[in-house]
Amino acid sequence: IMGVLNVTPDSFSDGGLFFEEKKANSQIKLMLNDGARIIDIGGESTRPGSETITEKEEWFRINIIVTEFKKKFPKAILSLDTRKSKVMINGIKNGVDIINDVSGLKFDNKSFDIIKLKNVPFILHHMQGTPATMQKNPKYDDALLDIYDFFEEKINFCLKKKYKKDLIIV
């Protein structure tokens, strides 16, 4: 079970509720006590219509929670929800176990190199456009086949670059 902690003012499910460190840590404890084994922390909303923030702002929002996570919750798996390579690097330096990139490695062309270099598992998502545009007239010839083709192409790209297949989570 993965618990999701959005440290944002505008996420669609809990935006603004866990913006303070104390509230964020209380929510992490609650999710772990309720059976979560993975905690996914994100500092940028990717809800439909949301705007991109700078990597500096994103890291500022999650910095303390991520850097203290393994000290406070050593048995939990820490997933970092980000599309930005610099945020990934900072997270990995601080014990992040999984990268959760909602852009499908399309937002930042350095992202794949980071996860490959650090041998970090990642969650691969499908999305047309960006969070700001993904709901504005999405087009598919055949939604199921188009999404399947997307994942096949991304996974084959990773395998050709010698990234381990068992580190890819779809």
Read off the pLDDT of residues 75-116 as tens digits, 9 standing for 90 and up: 999 999 999 999 999 999 999 999 999 888 888 999 999 999
By CB atoms closer than 10 A (0-12, 13-18, 19+), residue 51 is: exposed
Q: Which two tokens stand for residue 63?
A: 């910095």
Q: Is the pLDDT of residue 28 over 90?
A: yes
Q: What is the pTM of this model?
A: 0.90
How much is the pLDDT for 16?
A: 72
pLDDT at 46: 73
Q: Please write the tens of the pLDDT for every residue from 113-146.
A: 999 999 999 999 887 766 666 677 778 899 999 9
First to last CA, the chain: 15
Residue the block writes with tokens 């960006």: 130
Residue 83 DSSP symbol = S
Alpha-helix runs per DSSP H in 34-101: 55-72, 85-93
Rounded Cα–Cα distance for residues 48 and 106 (Å): 17
Q: Residue type for 92, please?
A: I
Q: At what angle do helices 55-72 and 21-33 cross, to 10 degrees?
A: 50
Distance (Å, whole) CA 22 – CA 95: 20
